[in-house]
A and B are shown apart, each in its own frame.
Chain A
Amino acid sequence: MRRRLAHALTPLRVAALVYVGLMLVVLLAAPLLAPADPLAQNVANRLAGPGGSNLLGTDELGRDILSRIVYGARVELLIALGATIVAMVLGTLLGLLGGYFGGIVEVITMRVLVDVLLAFPPIILVLLAVTLRGPGTGTLIVAMGVLFAPTFARISYGQVISVKRLEFVEAATAFGAPTRTRLLGVILPNISAPLIVQVSLTIATAILLESGLSYLGLGVVPPTPSWGSMVAQGQRYLSSDPHVLLVPGAFVVLTILAFGLVGDALRSGLDPKSRSDR
């Protein structure tokens, strides 16, 4: 186990883990960490560059960008992680059941639920949810979770189809493993690698989609800061004051990258074959 861990942790991945850890701290302790009130406007000091009294500068209303990043991280990560977890659990379950049982179960899970869901344009679907429930974090998590679930279902379905034919699954049946054990104890661990990779991709997509939705006014309600809406607003000042866009943009990129690397680390850490003893 220790050797496996050592193999999975390259310096870059450690850096990513540290970054993700920091983000989680920020998520929990935003009010303690932010240097200023993210909503306090100071029009006299609008569009100040980074480095002065405001470490990362101010936006068009003179609000402290660093503080908005810190508070934004909270909303951003909560929605991205929440939506991904919902998508993963829901999608994997559908794929496992559809792939393993086939027949009528497959028709219900993969055709009726997953394919129909895929037929809707994502924005329309979220619009529908927001119209019905009103904008807010909870609505976004559930709506985006449902939206991303089909990808997980497709991946796990395909994997289950190929894994369930392997002899060790038949061996489990022969040796009396109950269905639940076969699904969750035997098949699931063996299809986890692509799902874990998908998790980091989904977190990234969720951050992007949330940004888009906030831009349309369907996401986080202003004035609550979110990275997506910060990028959207910063667009207008790209030529004169690029930092308004670049700072939140950089955080979006870094966060997506970090989650990708953490996904890689998890995948090789969980795979017994990636031990470096060859």
Chain B
Amino acid sequence: MTQPVLEKAPRPAGTALLEISDVSVEFGGGKKWKPVTHGISFSVAPGETVALVGESGSGKSVTAMAILDLLPANARRTGSIRLDGEELIGASEKRLRQVRGCDVAVIFQEPMTALNPVYTIGHHLSEAIRSHRDVSKAEAAERAVELLRQVHMPSPETKVKDYPHQLSGGQRQRAMIAMAMASEPRLLIADEPTTALDVTVQAEILDLVRELQQRTGMSVLIITHDMGVVADVSDRVVVMRDGRVVETAPSTELFSRPQHDYTKALLDAVPRLGSGTTSSAVADRSAAPVLELEGVAIEYPGSWRKAGFRAGHDLGISVAPGEIVGLVGESGSGKSTIGRLAMGLLPVAEGRMTIGGRDVTAGSKADLAHIRSQVSMVFQDPASSLDPRRTIGQSITDPLRWTRKLTGAKACRARAQELLEDVRLPKEWVDRYPHELSGGQRQRVGIARAMATNPRLLVADEPTSALDVSVQAAVLDLFSELQREHGFSCLFITHDLSVVEQLATSVVVLQQGRVVEQGPTAQVLNAAEQDYTRRLIAAAPVPDPELQAQRRAARLAG
């Protein structure tokens, strides 16, 4: 057995680098303090990677930020946080600053917002180097290039002169990691470091973190919601829920023999690539397709001095009645663009588009009205796709009011209640506002709104990517049920292959605005013909440490 987990020598007890015991974080002020975490205890040994997992609101980020006292001003921490035996709670601000710069480094989820847009990458790095080491500017600049080379930044000599917006997402995260490594930290705290990245880039970043760790012997505390990432990098896992630790176990054990019910439920909810399809959708290929694209090109209109941007080339896609087509690809592949085209939000630049048998290529007023009567859409982020100033009842029936299918406050209200019940929400909620609902509930409202016009084709643009896994599972179930009941066709846009496998009857793989591969789900995912498809499948982390170790070895060898 060559499990990377076991490669490291077992450490004697009591030599933890980071020892967190009975830490509670409370928010509030004056006499009213509301605890958000309750007596968290865990430790990180030297050279160890510990994953802190949990869903949103579990307190994982707050706990990590408490280590360096990076909490908001209205928060306080109690308990004991020891770094190499030194108590950090109650330490002076001066000492904490030293710890932050030198012993412990942090990388964040969104490198674009963590880097200052008006400074070059080189400037960021030099600052980080000079803040804890007395070196000249020239030496710091030299070291900056060296650091970038260490994180495998392509052409580091020129990249130091670049500004953050000139780098890709993956390169920005590499730069962040280089900054963190500047002080040769003993502990790296990574707060959802790959959540904003594509799977292939995520795999590279995780490989890098692992490589740096093995070379420098630092410890890593990684905060994530993704069980695949956990299985990929961690030695030990701390599962959190509602501000409490529910289970701590070595990752091989956690995945094979989860003890706590919540851990089991969490693992069950993760869609697994390779577990076969459960799609109940049946495509009716004898009937005319609901959506048909023939040689379609899509262009984002430019301004009067700038040419438009072509986001789709020679697209040929067909959706049969009752069929769920999964559109997959990385960011920038044009998958959302196709969804917007089908919804009539973008014009057809070239080729031919028919919806429900009618040629709507011209995009005239009548064509758009036809599209709106046949096609509907579920948006990615229910927090921003619902108008915060309107009650959910109003939002749900807006499509009917706007297209004058239904008028009158009473009729609309009744229809809204009916639709709320359809998506398994209490009809009494019709007067609530979006901010009073949880993420999953909001997305149910988004689905109800899309169903309001009884569409023949539903465009679902990453409808679950903003949700926790357990919520995602419930929303996907609801989606399948509704599809069975109403028999609509669906264009399901996602970056998550396992969701596609679970839901879709056929798959279209996109890369840079072109269709790379398409066919029945099982065929594309199990016997992919194209390299790109195979790379996508290989990069998606699976929640199984042993399998993930094999895949990593294969990936690094290949």
Closest beta carbon of chain B to A55's beta carbon, Å: 45
Q: Known contacts A174-B345, A176-B369: does B403 contact A272 (CB below 8 Å)?
A: no
Residues of B within 8 A of A178 (CB): 402
Residues of A within 8 A of B453 (CB): 175
Q: Which of B393-422 contact A (CB under 8 A)?
A: 398-399, 402-403
B343 within 8 A of A: yes
A171 within 8 A of B: yes
B318 within 8 A of A: no
B198 within 8 A of A: no
Q: Give complex CA distance A96, B492 in Å.
A: 34
B303's partner among A103, A166, A181 (CB-CB below 8 A) is A103
A224 within 8 A of B: no
Residues of B within 8 A of A170 (CB): 345, 379, 385
Closest beta carbon of chain A to B452's beta carbon, Å: 8
Question: Contact at A175–B387, with CB atoms within 8 Å?
Answer: no
Q: Which of B416-453 contact A (CB under 8 A)?
A: 433, 435-436, 449, 453
Q: Known contacts A168-B386, A175-B399: does B372 contact A272 (CB below 8 Å)?
A: no
Q: In chain B, what residue has the closest Cβ to A4? A: B433
B398's partner among A167, A172, A189, A277 (CB-CB below 8 A) is A172
Residues of B within 8 A of A167 (CB): 379-381, 384-385
Residues of B within 8 A of A272 (CB): 388-389, 433, 435
Closest beta carbon of chain B to A79's beta carbon, Å: 32
Closest beta carbon of chain B to A150's beta carbon, Å: 24
Question: Contact at A190–B388, with CB atoms within 8 Å?
Answer: yes
B376 within 8 A of A: yes
Residues of B within 8 A of A171 (CB): 377, 379, 385-386, 449
A174's partner among B303, B343, B384 (CB-CB below 8 A) is B343
B304 within 8 A of A: yes
Q: Known contacts A166-B384, A168-B385: does B345 contact A173 (CB below 8 Å)?
A: yes
Q: Which of B303-338 contact A (CB under 8 A)?
A: 303-304
Question: Contact at B381–A273, with CB atoms within 8 Å?
Answer: no
Question: Contact at A103–B304, with CB atoms within 8 Å?
Answer: yes
A117 within 8 A of B: no
Q: In chain B, what residue has the closest Cβ to A104? A: B304
Q: Known contacts A170-B345, A189-B389: does B384 contact A175 (CB below 8 Å)?
A: no
Q: Known contacts A174-B343, A174-B345: does B385 contact A181 (CB below 8 Å)?
A: no
Residues of B within 8 A of A174 (CB): 343-345, 372, 376-377
Q: Give complex CA distance A167, B388 in Å.
A: 11
Q: Give complex CA distance A175, B385 in Å.
A: 12
Q: In chain B, what residue has the closest Cβ to A188? A: B389
Q: In chain A, what residue has the closest Cβ to B368? A: A176
Question: Contact at B384–A190, with CB atoms within 8 Å?
Answer: no
Residues of A within 8 A of B398 (CB): 172, 175, 177
Q: In chain B, what residue has the closest Cβ to A273? A: B435
Question: Contact at A168–B403, with CB atoms within 8 Å?
Answer: no
Closest beta carbon of chain A to B396's beta carbon, Å: 10
Question: Contact at B389–A175, with CB atoms within 8 Å?
Answer: no
Q: In chain B, what residue has the closest Cβ to A168? A: B387
Closest beta carbon of chain A to B340's beta carbon, Å: 8
Residues of A within 8 A of B377 (CB): 171, 174-175
Question: Contact at A186–B387, with CB atoms within 8 Å?
Answer: yes
Q: In chain A, what residue has the closest Cβ to B375? A: A174
Closest beta carbon of chain B to A42's beta carbon, Å: 57
Residues of A within 8 A of B379 (CB): 167, 170-171
Closest beta carbon of chain A to B380's beta carbon, Å: 7
Main secondary structure of the interface of A (DSSP, over half): helix
Question: Contact at B389–A190, with CB atoms within 8 Å?
Answer: yes
Q: Give complex CA distance A272, B436 in Å.
A: 10
For A199-240 the 0/1 string (1 means CB < 8 A from B) is 000000000000000000000000000000000000000000
Q: Give complex CA distance A181, B400 in Å.
A: 13
Residues of A within 8 A of B402 (CB): 172, 175-178, 181
Question: Contact at A176–B388, with CB atoms within 8 Å?
Answer: no
Question: Contact at B433–A175, with CB atoms within 8 Å?
Answer: no
B388's partner among A103, A172, A273 (CB-CB below 8 A) is A273
Residues of B within 8 A of A176 (CB): 368-369, 372, 399, 402-403
Question: Contact at A273–B384, with CB atoms within 8 Å?
Answer: no
Interface core residue of B385, B386, B387 (most chain A CB under 10 Å): B387
Closest beta carbon of chain A to B498's beta carbon, Å: 25
Closest beta carbon of chain B to A96's beta carbon, Å: 16
Closest beta carbon of chain A to B112's beta carbon, Å: 16
Residues of A within 8 A of B343 (CB): 174
Residues of A within 8 A of B388 (CB): 168, 190, 272-273
Residues of B within 8 A of A175 (CB): 372, 376-377, 398-399, 402-403, 449, 453
Residues of A within 8 A of B303 (CB): 103
Q: Give complex CA distance A176, B304 in Å.
A: 27
Closest beta carbon of chain A to B119's beta carbon, Å: 25
Residues of B within 8 A of A177 (CB): 398, 402
Residues of B within 8 A of A189 (CB): 387, 389
Q: Give complex CA distance A28, B309 in Å.
A: 60
Closest beta carbon of chain A to B419's beta carbon, Å: 14
Residues of A within 8 A of B376 (CB): 174-175
Q: In chain A, what residue has the closest Cβ to B446? A: A171
Residues of A within 8 A of B344 (CB): 174
Interface core residue of A173, A178, A190 (most chain B CB under 10 Å): A173
Q: Give complex CA distance A174, B346 in Å.
A: 10
Interface core residue of A103, A174, A190 (most chain B CB under 10 Å): A174
For A149-178 the 0/1 string (1 means CB < 8 A from B) is 000000000000000001110111111111
Q: In chain A, what residue has the closest Cβ to B377? A: A174
Closest beta carbon of chain A to B379's beta carbon, Å: 5
Residues of A within 8 A of B380 (CB): 167
Question: Contact at A277–B436, with CB atoms within 8 Å?
Answer: yes
Residues of A within 8 A of B372 (CB): 174-176
Q: Give complex CA distance A117, B16 in Å.
A: 68
Closest beta carbon of chain A to B388's beta carbon, Å: 7
Closest beta carbon of chain B to A137's beta carbon, Å: 36
Residues of B within 8 A of A186 (CB): 387
- Would you list 15 pairs from A and B whose C-beta atoms are within 8 A, ordered by A residue? A167-B379, A170-B345, A171-B386, A174-B345, A175-B372, A175-B377, A175-B449, A176-B372, A176-B403, A177-B398, A177-B402, A272-B388, A272-B389, A272-B435, A273-B433
What would 7 more interface pairs be, CB under 8 Å, given A170-B345, A171-B377, A174-B343?
A: A167-B385, A172-B398, A174-B376, A175-B449, A176-B402, A272-B388, A272-B435
**Sorted from nearest, which 8 A-B pairs have the closest CB atoms?**
A175-B399, A167-B385, A176-B372, A272-B433, A177-B402, A189-B389, A167-B384, A176-B403
